[in-house]
């Protein structure tokens, strides 16, 4: 198996035939890099990082994409050269104005206090790219809207004491993105759950410690429609900024908070094996295994069997001579 170490090599392998499948954790992830991949690529969507890794290892996909840092022990990793920004998303219009300002106020304060770094450091090998679309050096320049005059979605949150957030998944089938976020664990672990803890601490400090975070689990367009009609107040912050909705940029149909962070998106492929001792005891075996040539392995085994048989016959003849 030859080593794939760049996007150019990946596209060349796919163009040359064989396995044209690639693994992704969402259709949106595929769409974010589709333009830089061969048109022959067939995307396969997986629910968890573990499933994605397994598919590359067992060869059901040739390579995969992950937002963040894959396991470098077993895989070659090469950058997409793309930074994918992530932000909270809300419905458009007047109802979202105060909520967006409150979100921006929290985000700026988390940036200023180094809480992105704290969440990333607690979840190695996660890496967050700092992307500041709102200046973080002077949080007082981004004030919270007053609770007493709150309107729209923010008022609804304060009246109900409940912040409803769209989360990617379905009840009983929550995602496990390893260090990015394991929503199957109790309590939830990973960068994004940790970041939301920082977020909620600041939101509650401003608007009340009794406000509850309620994740509304949904996938596909149904979840997006819940955001657009205000059934849920906003998305989780990991939703992709540059994604599409109804074949148009989400920027045209949604409102976005300040960017929370960016992902350095990476492709990865299986790292070729370097230890071939399991293929057999001789150089013939191991060279054939290295080259992935089963016919050579068979020939090597046949050659070894002939060599051993010849040696055994010679030994028997020598012993017979000694006896006589």
**What count of residues does the chain have?**
324
Measured distance between the N- and C-terminal CA atoms of the chain, rounded to whole angstroms? 55
Confidence of residue 189 (pLDDT cuts 50, 70, 90): very high
Q: Is the pLDDT of residue 300 over 70?
A: no
Confidence of residue 22 (pLDDT cuts 50, 70, 90): very high
pLDDT, the chain, mean: 87
Gap between the Cα atoms of 263 and 242, Å rounded = 12
Gap between the Cα atoms of 82 and 243, Å rounded = 14
Confidence of residue 293 (pLDDT cuts 50, 70, 90): very low
Task: Supply the DSSP symbol for 189.
Answer: B
b/e map of 41-73 (b: 16 or more CB within 10 Å)? bebbebbbbeebbebbeeeebbbbbbbbbbeee
Tokens of 152: 């729209």
Confidence of residue 289 (pLDDT cuts 50, 70, 90): low
* Helix intervals (H) in the chain: 7-15, 27-33, 49-58, 97-112, 115-121, 152-160, 191-207, 220-228, 283-290, 294-323
Closest CA to 219 of 199, 239, 233: 239
The label of the residue with tokens 């994740």 reads 215
Gap between the Cα atoms of 239 and 306, Å rounded = 62
> 208: Cβ–Cβ under 8 A, 6 or more apart, which residues?
147, 158, 161
Gap between the Cα atoms of 170 and 172, Å rounded = 6
For residues 284-295, give the mean pLDDT: 60
| 26-70 residue pLDDT tens | 888 898 899 999 999 999 999 888 999 999 999 999 999 988 778
**∠ CA 276-282-286, rounded to 5°:** 25
| 126-172 residue pLDDT tens | 989 999 999 899 999 999 999 999 999 999 999 999 999 999 999 98
- Starting at the edge strand found earlier in the chain, the sheet holding 21-24 runs 42-45, 21-24, 63-67, 261-270, 75-86
Q: What is the structure's pLDDT at 6?
A: 92
Annotate 144-161 with DSSP letters as a single string. PPPGGG--HHHHHHHHHT
Q: What is the structure's pLDDT at 19?
A: 95
| 95-122 residue pLDDT tens | 999 999 999 999 999 999 999 999 999 9
b/e map of 117-155 (b: 16 or more CB within 10 Å)? eebbeebeebebbebeeeebeebeebebbeeeebebbbb
For residues 260-285, give the mean pLDDT: 79
Look up the pTM and report it.
Answer: 0.74
- Residue with the bigger pLDDT between 222 and 28: it is 222
Q: What is the structure's pLDDT at 305?
A: 45
Query: Among 85-99, 277-291, 293-307, which is the least confidently predicted range?
Result: 293-307
Tokens of 322: 């000694």
Q: What is the structure's pLDDT at 31?
A: 87
The label of the residue with tokens 């198996």 reads 1
Q: What is the structure's pLDDT at 320?
A: 53
Confidence of residue 274 (pLDDT cuts 50, 70, 90): low
Task: Supply the DSSP symbol for 236.
Answer: -
- Residue with the bigger pLDDT between 285 and 200: it is 200
For the chain, give percent helix, strand, coil, nearest 5: 45, 20, 35
The label of the residue with tokens 């104005």 reads 97
Q: Is the pLDDT of residue 272 over 80?
A: no
The label of the residue with tokens 């919270």 reads 144
């Amino acid at each position: 198996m030859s080593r794939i170490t760049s996007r150019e090599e990946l596209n060349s392998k796919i163009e040359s035939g064989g396995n044209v499948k690639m693994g992704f954790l969402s259709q949106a992830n595929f769409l974010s890099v589709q333009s830089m991949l061969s048109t022959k690529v067939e995307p396969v969507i997986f629910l968890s990082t573990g499933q994605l890794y397994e598919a590359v290892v067992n060869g059901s996909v040739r390579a995969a994409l992950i937002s963040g840092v894959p396991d470098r022990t077993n895989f070659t990793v090469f950058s997409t050269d793309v930074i994918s920004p992530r932000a909270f998303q809300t419905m458009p219009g007047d109802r979202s104005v105060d909520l967006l300002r409150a979100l921006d106020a929290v985000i700026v304060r988390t940036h200023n206090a180094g809480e992105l770094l704290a969440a990333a450091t607690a979840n190695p090998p996660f890496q967050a790219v700092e992307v500041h679309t709102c200046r973080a050096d002077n949080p007082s320049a981004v004030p919270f809207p007053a609770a007493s005059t709150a309107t729209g979605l923010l008022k609804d949150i304060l009246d109900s004491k409940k912040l409803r957030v769209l989360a990617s998944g379905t009840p009983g089938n929550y995602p496990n993105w390893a260090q990015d976020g394991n929503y199957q664990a109790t309590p939830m672990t990973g960068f994004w759950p940790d970041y939301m803890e920082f977020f909620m601490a600041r939101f509650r400090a401003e608007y009340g410690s009794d406000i509850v975070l309620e994740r509304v689990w949904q996938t596909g367009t149904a979840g997006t429609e819940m955001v657009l009609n205000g059934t849920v107040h906003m998305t989780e912050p990991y939703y992709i900024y540059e994604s599409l909705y109804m074949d148009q940029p989400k920027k045209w149909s949604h409102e976005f908070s300040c960017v929370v962070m960016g992902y350095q998106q990476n492709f990865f492929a299986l790292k070729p094996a370097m230890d071939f001792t399991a293929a057999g005891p001789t150089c013939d075996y191991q060279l054939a295994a290295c080259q992935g040539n089963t016919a050579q392995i068979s020939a090597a085994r046949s050659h070894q069997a002939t060599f051993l048989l010849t040696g055994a016959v010679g030994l028997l003849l020598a012993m017979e001579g000694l006896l006589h």
